Structure 1
């Protein structure tokens, strides 16, 4: 079994492109979430009633 696990782990190359892609995806999700939280916070502070109330 260790030989099979070694074959699987060596067949998946890790490149800097995948790390860059992961960082880009993280930044995109973080910005999207941050903007959504900011809009929600402003709506609550200003007392704008929405469907969630």
Structure 2
């Protein structure tokens, strides 16, 4: 994700277990977004909460 205010790029790498993938797929279906969009939004929220 690119932070335009600070001109920095964060690269996030992680592993997701099968159960979590199933949960992400359920969320994706309910929100009508693809899995990567759901993951991206979760990362954005996490970073916002932990950079205060």
Confirm or deny a common fold (TM above 0.5): no
Structure with bigger strand share is: 2
Structure with bigger helix share is: 1
Could you say which TM-score interval applies, normalised by the shorter chain? 0.3 to 0.5
TM-score where L is the length of structure 2: 0.37
TM-score where L is the length of structure 1: 0.36
Q: Quick check: which has more Rg, 1 or 2?
A: 1
Which is bigger in relative contact order (C-alpha 8 A, separation at least 6)? 2
